[in-house]
Amino acid sequence: MDPCAEEGCERPAAVRLFIPWTDDRDVCTAHARVQVQADGVVAEPLEGAEENWR
């Protein structure tokens, strides 16, 4: 599994974020919880990443 796309984060990616104003990115659940609150951001669980949901 790939690591979170956020700089300095070593957690495994579990969510793909579709962000209208920048490139899509795969992030850990902690970063996804924060970023998905912005208007227009859509989160999709990554297939096979169920074990990384925490």
**pLDDT per residue as tens digits for the range 1-54:** 799 999 999 999 999 999 999 999 999 999 999 999 999 999 999 998 877 776
User: How far apart are alpha carbons 52 and 54 in whole angstroms?
Assistant: 6
**Which pLDDT score is estimated for 1?**
75
The CA-atom distances, in angstroms, between 15 and each of 5, 26, 38 are: 10, 6, 15
Where would I find the H helices in 1-54? 29-35
pTM: 0.86
Torsion of CA 27, 51, 46, 15, to 10 degrees: -30
What is the C-alpha to C-alpha distance for residues 30 and 20, in angstroms, rounded to an integer? 20
